[in-house]
């Protein structure tokens, strides 16, 4: 499911007449969106600062996974990005306002609290921190050079890249994520090596059994990677034994995927709120209240133990209810009245069908597939924005609606094309695509600019505007 894009908050619709918000929620994983659903239904008119890059993409960690099979209510499982699209749609349907950016600073030293975002300062009576956790990296020798050139922290996002097809691949880690990624990569690689520092997998028994029974996966016990080898692309990993039992070796792999845990995103409140020994936010035991009244924590940022979608959602619910009670108790809440009482159903947009000779339209703002790409590349004089995606790529879910908005804002003066690299490997290879999302901007058959990963809408729009009017610098 792809969700029609909600209107971005502009900061002018504060909850009270003095411009102070009732509640700002930082983070848009299961914790943040669940808190928003509860707060919006309580007429608190909340703002969610979704996050953009600093602590993971909007939608959080589940945007980087495929099938979520343990979130209640989906008997056949659901793709992580689809689940997050649904949570977002539900939050927006009840009136949540979104700011699609990173919170840059938080000041808890005075009331109302201050949150800096997109160059402005929001003032809020209550705050929910739901900033989750970020993937860890090892920073091996050679890693910076080969990052995105064979090394990735998201097998689910990048596994379908043509360069990994039928190649030997490695995953580092021994937990659930590592096992899930190793199994997932057997779809693409010729063989997968799981590199485990100890002599056991920390994953759940079911997941570990799946790995150990899979003939396409070799587990390298008591092993650690020390160097990434290769000039333009990863072609090997230097390994060392962790138990001193054998000499180092080189594993000839073309892909390396990290699955070595996460670090809680607490940078914004360091020195302002107490953290535990591992850097997680400390709250009252079993409750969302932090050491500062009116500031609540939800999800993985305050949970070193359970770290699941459903526990994050549950704690988001608790945080919103606690915030509502605190605001009411302190007579701070300025609620909005909603008319009609029941909002319209959440809008959704159907997936774009792949264009062919019959369905291709020279003026369509957004089309899919190599047929449309070839036609427009050769025949159109408008700038072409090409996004290379894969079906399970969460960041692509975040980026696509942003691009469609840019093209709408440009009123058809530039056109967009989506290429699924899994369905159209040859095109992806020709274009030199090494992961998704990759964005390429063409004008008059010339590649003007290329981006990897999620980008700010304004950056892409400025590049297109420069193409349209080269005399005006972006």
Pick 183 or 373: Cβ nearer ligand FAD:
183
Based on the shown chain and the rule CB under 6 A, indicate whether residue 54 belongs to the binding site for ligand FAD: yes
Rounded to a whole number of angstroms, the minimum distance from the CB of residue 370 to ligand FAD is 30
Pick 317 or 414: Cβ nearer ligand FAD:
317
Q: What distance in Å separates the CA atoms of residue 121 and residue 139, rounded to the nearest whole number?
A: 35
Binding test (CB under 6 A) with ligand FAD, winner from 9, 36, 40, 62: 62
Rounded to a whole number of angstroms, the minimum distance from the CB of residue 388 to ligand FAD is 21
Tokens 């940078």, located at residue:
267
Binding test (CB under 6 A) with ligand FAD, winner from 36, 57, 160, 203: 57
Rounded to a whole number of angstroms, the minimum distance from the CB of residue 227 to ligand FAD is 25
Catalytic member of 154, 223, 317, 396: 396
Residue 317 is a catalytic residue: no
And the tokens for 286? 């079993």
Site map for ligand FAD, 176-205, x if CB under 6 A? Answer: -x----------------------------
Based on the shown chain and the rule CB under 6 A, indicate whether residue 253 belongs to the binding site for ligand FAD: no
Based on the shown chain and the rule CB under 6 A, indicate whether residue 64 belongs to the binding site for ligand FAD: yes
Based on the shown chain and the rule CB under 6 A, indicate whether residue 115 belongs to the binding site for ligand FAD: no
Rounded to a whole number of angstroms, the minimum distance from the CB of residue 464 to ligand FAD is 25
- Of 54, 57, 80, the C-alpha closest to 67 is 80
Query: Dihedral, CA atoms, 74, 80, 83, 85, nearest 10 degrees?
Result: -160
Rounded to a whole number of angstroms, the minimum distance from the CB of residue 154 to ligand FAD is 8
Based on the shown chain and the rule CB under 6 A, indicate whether residue 130 belongs to the binding site for ligand FAD: yes
Rounded to a whole number of angstroms, the minimum distance from the CB of residue 379 to ligand FAD is 39
Peptide bond into 340 cis (omega under 30): yes
Binding test (CB under 6 A) with ligand FAD, winner from 214, 218, 308, 359: 308
Based on the shown chain and the rule CB under 6 A, indicate whether residue 395 belongs to the binding site for ligand FAD: no
Pick 54 or 423: Cβ nearer ligand FAD:
54
Residues 67-86 close enough to bind ligand FAD by CB under 6 A: 68, 70-71
Binding test (CB under 6 A) with ligand FAD, winner from 85, 300, 324, 422: 300
Query: With CB under 6 A as the contact rule, which of the stretches 47-55, 192-200, 281-289, 424-432 interacts with ligand FAD?
Result: 47-55
- Bridge partner residues of 443 (DSSP): 446
Pick 151 or 417: Cβ nearer ligand FAD:
151
Tokens 């929910």, located at residue:
128
Residue 157 is a catalytic residue: no
Binding test (CB under 6 A) with ligand FAD, winner from 43, 65, 224, 318: 65
Rounded to a whole number of angstroms, the minimum distance from the CB of residue 306 to ligand FAD is 8
Catalytic member of 179, 223, 317, 393: 393
Instruction: Calculate the alpha carbon distances from 183 to 80, 149, 235, 341 in Å.
Output: 17, 21, 21, 47
Based on the shown chain and the rule CB under 6 A, indicate whether residue 159 belongs to the binding site for ligand FAD: no
Site map for ligand FAD, 259-298, x if CB under 6 A? Answer: ------x--x------------------------------
Residues 309-368 close enough to bind ligand FAD by CB under 6 A: 309-310, 312
Binding test (CB under 6 A) with ligand FAD, winner from 3, 37, 79, 133: 133
| DSSP collapsed to 3 states, the chain | CEECCCCECCCCCCCCCCCEEEEEEECCCHHHHHHHHHHHHCCCCCEEECCCCECECCCCHHHHCCEECCCCCCCCCEEHHHHHHHHHHHHHHCCCEEECCCEEEEECCCCCEEEEECCEEEEEEEEEECCCEEECCCCCECHHHHECCCEECCHHHHCCCHHHCCCEEEEECCCHHHHHHHHHHCCCCCEEEEECCCCCCCCCHHHHHHHHCCCCEEEECCEEEEEEECCCCCCEEEEEECCCCCCCEEECCCEEEECCCEEECCHHHCCCCCECCCCCECCCCCCCECCCCCEEECHHHHCCCCCCHHHHHHHHHHHHHHHHHHHHHCCCCCCCCCCCCCCCCCCEECCCCECCCCCCCCCCCEEECHHHHHHHHHHCCCCEEEEEECCCCHHHHHHHHHHHHHHHHCCCCCEEEEEECCCCHHHHHHCCCCCCCEEEEEECCEEEEEEECCCCHHHHHHHHHHHHCCCCCC
Query: With CB under 6 A as the contact rule, which of the stretches 5-13, 49-57, 191-199, 397-405 interacts with ligand FAD?
Result: 49-57
Kindly list the residues in this chain that would bind ligand FAD in the complex (CB under 6 A). 26-32, 49-51, 54-62, 64-65, 68, 70-71, 102-103, 130-133, 177, 265, 268, 299-301, 307-310, 312
Residues with a catalytic annotation lie at 393, 396
């Amino acid at each position: 499911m792809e969700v029609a894009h909600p209107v971005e908050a502009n900061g002018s619709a504060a909850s009270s007449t003095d411009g102070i918000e009732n509640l700002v929620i930082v983070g848009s994983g299961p914790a943040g969106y669940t808190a928003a659903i509860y707060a919006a239904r309580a007429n608190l008119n909340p703002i969610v600062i979704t996050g953009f890059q600093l602590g993971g993409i909007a939608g959080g960690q589940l945007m980087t996974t495929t099938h979520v099979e343990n979130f209640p209510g989906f008997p056949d499982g659901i793709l992580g990005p689809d689940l997050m699209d649904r949570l977002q749609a539900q939050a927006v349907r009840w009136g949540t306002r979104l700011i699609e950016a990173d919170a840059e600073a938080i000041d808890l030293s005075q009331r109302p609290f201050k949150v800096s975002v997109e160059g402005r300062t929001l003032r809020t009576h209550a705050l929910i921190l739901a900033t989750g956790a970020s993937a860890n990296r090892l920073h091996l020798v050679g890693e910076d050079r080969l990052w995105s050139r064979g090394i990735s922290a998201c097998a689910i996002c990048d596994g379908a890249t043509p360069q990994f097809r039928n190649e030997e691949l490695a995953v580092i880690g021994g937990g659930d994520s590592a096992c899930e990624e190793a199994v997932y990569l057997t779809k693409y690689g010729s063989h997968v090596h799981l590199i485990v520092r100890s002599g056991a997998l920390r994953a759940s028994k079911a997941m570990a059994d799946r790995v150990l029974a899979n003939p396409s996966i070799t587990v390298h016990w008591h092993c650690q990677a020390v160097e990434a080898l290769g000039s333009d692309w990863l072609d090997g990993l230097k390994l060392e034994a962790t138990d001193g039992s054998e000499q180092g070796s080189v594993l000839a792999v073309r892909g390396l995927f990290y699955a070595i845990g996460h670090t809680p995103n607490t940078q914004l409140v360091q020195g302002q709120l107490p953290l535990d020994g591992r850097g997680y936010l400390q709250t009252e035991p079993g409750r969302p209240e932090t050491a500062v009244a009116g500031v609540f924590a939800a999800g993985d940022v305050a949970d070193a133990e359970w770290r699941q979608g459903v526990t994050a959602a549950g704690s988001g619910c608790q945080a919103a209810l606690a915030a509502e009670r605190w605001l009411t108790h302190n007579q701070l809440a300025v609620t909005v009245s909603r008319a009609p009482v029941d909002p319209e159903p959440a809008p959704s947009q159907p997936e774009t069908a792949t264009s062919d000779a019959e369905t291709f339209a020279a003026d369509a703002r957004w089309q899919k597939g190599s047929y449309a790409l070839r036609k427009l590349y050769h025949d159109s004089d408008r700038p072409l924005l090409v996004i290379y995606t894969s079906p399970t790529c969460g960041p692509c879910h975040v980026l696509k609606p942003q691009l469609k908005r840019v093209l709408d804002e440009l009123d058809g003066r530039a056109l967009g094309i989506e290429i699924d690299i899994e369905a159209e490997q040859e095109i992806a290879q020709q274009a030199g695509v090494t992961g998704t999302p990759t964005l390429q901007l063409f004008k008059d058959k010339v590649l003007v600019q290329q981006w990897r990963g999620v980008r700010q809408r304004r950056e892409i729009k400025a590049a297109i505007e420069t193409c349209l009017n080269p005399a005006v610098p972006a």
